[in-house]
């Protein structure tokens, strides 16, 4: 029996999909990239904001229209968030499962297709055994490592705690084992992810030695991210470690010491500031009570500290526009912060009113047109900032991770007949969300998923041209 997977949502959802695939494959199912050949279509949905929900629902409807007789199984955040409502509202699907246990995909797939389990296959693999051996949906040479799930931040606009629950961190030995397994498979780039990796380990209990002997456990109260990075640094080999999604108020400064000491931890930081206005950040529940007064200055000081310790640091962030109560003065504060912060990469989103969140009932709602205009102004300003920031890499010799061969009309005016084009990424490019490196080489057989030393020769928009 064959299944076709249609994935949606963030890379954390992607890791869930990869683990579900591992369970299915272990139970005797076979993955196919051709839906025509499949017995089962799995739609791994996103339920974060309205546009993502619509995209997932439309996918289910379109698959049903295209394949009236195939079985469709809906998984992921949307089916977790609306476990009671979806079966009645989305009759196009045959079954639904949430995000709590990837191994449940096997029973759901067997039930919906009336397949008897194959007793010779291992359908009881544990999560820890799967993590390093799972199929990968990421780009060649790169993999995501989810070190935690859920979130305790409870930002007033965010539905993640409603879907994923409270913070649950994996143990350090389990994560290190996954890193080792992925590196043995030839992976070069390890992307550390979670809803907020700065909070990693705050939920874990730790052993403390009692004064009169013996041990006891207490609840962890601080980030164990530095401890995790120290453990990863003990792994031998040449690889990159990229850190994604650190809440600015949970940024553990100790990790800078580790990154100065071990250059395999690349100086790339994804720090979602969301806003700079103290009033809006308070309404977003982004800061603890009483700590919002000088948020913009505090965030700028954090950036200054990072760049002082790591001069090559690359910073990505996220801004949320049109939050209830956002005035022109609040927006002006954000623009001023953007100019001063000089972020390398920036993603902008207009506020999405999500039921179940604290912001859902907030008054002083901002018209969608106003929110989108503010978003556009931020994006236009960021183009200038990002292009100027990328100029600093011109002339440098840097490692490039090769991802695919490039074919385009671009070749005629800019390369001679003996040159070949490839696409890849420098350390300043996170997978799929930042720019890219256009690699020019006389070699015809560069190995995808490996690194090669190149010289950055030019900037083309957000992208960088490099030559082997």
Q: Which of 333, 285, 331, 245 is nearest to 157 (CA)?
A: 285
**pLDDT digit string, tens, across residues 423-460:** 999 999 999 899 899 999 887 788 898 999 999 999 99
- Copy the structure tokens of residue 397: 């010799």
- Copy the structure tokens of residue 128: 């820890």
Mean pLDDT of 206-226: 62
**pLDDT digit string, tens, across residues 110-166:** 999 887 665 444 444 444 455 778 889 899 999 999 999 999 888 999 988 888 889
pLDDT score, position 215:
52
Count of CB atoms situated within 10 Å of the CB of 286: 25
**pLDDT digit string, tens, across residues 305-318:** 999 999 999 999 99
pTM of the predicted structure, to 2 decimals: 0.88
pLDDT score, position 120:
43
Cα distances (Å, whole numbers) of residue 11 to 136, 279, 304, 306, 357: 11, 31, 29, 25, 23
Banded model confidence at residue 205, pLDDT cuts 50, 70, 90:
confident
Count of CB atoms situated within 10 Å of the CB of 154: 13
pLDDT score, position 117:
60
Q: Which of 5-14, 85-94, 150-159, 301-310 has the highest mean pLDDT?
A: 301-310
- Cβ pair 343, 290 in contact under 8 A: no
Distance CA 361, CA 407 (A): 50
**pLDDT digit string, tens, across residues 58-69:** 999 999 999 999
pLDDT score, position 130:
56
Banded model confidence at residue 420, pLDDT cuts 50, 70, 90:
confident
Distant-in-sequence, close-in-space partners of 70: CB < 8 Å, separation ≥ 6: 35, 38, 39, 40, 41, 63
pLDDT score, position 222:
78
**pLDDT over threshold 90, residue 256:** yes
- Copy the structure tokens of residue 296: 């913009």
Count of CB atoms situated within 10 Å of the CB of 449: 17
Domains of the chain and CATH, by start: 2-127 (3.40.50.12160), 130-392 (3.80.30.20), 394-467 (2.40.50.140)
**pLDDT digit string, tens, across residues 259-295:** 999 999 999 999 999 999 999 999 999 875 445 567 8
Mean per-residue pLDDT over the chain, rounded: 88
Residue % of the chain over a pLDDT of 70: 90
**pLDDT digit string, tens, across residues 330-364:** 999 999 999 999 999 999 999 999 888 999 999 99
**pLDDT over threshold 90, residue 221:** no
């Amino acid at each position: 029996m064959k299944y076709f997977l249609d994935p949606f949502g963030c890379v954390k959802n992607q890791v869930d999909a990869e683990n579900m695939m591992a369970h299915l494959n272990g139970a005797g199912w076979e993955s196919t990239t051709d839906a025509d050949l499949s017995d089962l279509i799995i739609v791994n949905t996103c339920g974060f904001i309205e546009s993502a929900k619509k995209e997932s629902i439309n996918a289910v409807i379109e698959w049903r229209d295209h394949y009236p007789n195939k079985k469709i199984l809906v998984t992921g955040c949307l089916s977790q968030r609306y476990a009671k409502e979806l079966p009645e509202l989305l009759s196009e699907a045959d079954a639904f499962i949430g995000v709590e246990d990837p191994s449940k995909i096997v029973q759901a797939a067997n039930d919906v297709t009336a397949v008897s389990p194959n007793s010779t296959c291992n359908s009881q693999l544990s999560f820890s055994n799967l993590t390093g051996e799972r199929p990968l949906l990421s780009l060649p040479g790169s993999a995501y490592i989810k070190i935690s799930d859920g979130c305790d931040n409870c930002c007033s606009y965010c539905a993640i705690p409603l879907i994923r629950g409270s913070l649950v961190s994996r143990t350090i030995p389990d994560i290190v084992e996954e890193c080792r397994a992925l590196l043995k498979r030839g992976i070069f780039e390890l992307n550390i992810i979670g809803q907020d990796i700065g909070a990693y380990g705050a939920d874990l209990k730790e052993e403390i030695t009692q004064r009169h002997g013996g041990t006891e456990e207490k609840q962890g109260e601080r980030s164990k991210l530095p401890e995790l990075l120290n453990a990863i640094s003990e792994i031998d080999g040449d690889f990159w470690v990229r850190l994604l999604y650190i809440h600015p108020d949970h940024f553990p400064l100790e990790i800078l010491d580790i990154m100065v000491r071990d250059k395999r931890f690349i100086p790339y930081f994804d720090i979602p500031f969301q806003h700079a206005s103290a009033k809006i950040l308070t309404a977003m529940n982004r800061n603890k009570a009483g700590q919002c007064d000088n948020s913009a200055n505090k965030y700028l000081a954090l950036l200054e500290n990072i760049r002082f310790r790591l001069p090559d640091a690359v910073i990505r962030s996220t801004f949320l526009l049109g939050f209830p109560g956002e005035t022109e003065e609040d927006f002006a504060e954000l623009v001023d912060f953007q100019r001063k912060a000089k972020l390398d990469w920036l993603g902008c989103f207009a506020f999405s009113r999500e039921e179940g969140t604290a912001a859902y009932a907030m008054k002083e709602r901002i018209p969608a047109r106003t929110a989108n205009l503010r978003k556009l102004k931020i994006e236009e300003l960021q183009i200038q900032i990002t292009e100027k920031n990328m100029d600093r890499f011109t002339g440098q010799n840097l490692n490039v991770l090769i991802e695919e061969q490039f074919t385009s009309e671009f070749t005629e005016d800019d390369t001679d007949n003996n040159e070949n084009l490839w696409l890849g990424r420098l350390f300043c490019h996170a997978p799929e969300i930042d720019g890219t490196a256009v690699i020019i080489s006389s070699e015809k057989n560069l190995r995808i998923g490996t690194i090669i030393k190149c010289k950055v020769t030019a900037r083309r928009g957000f992208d960088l041209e490099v030559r082997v």
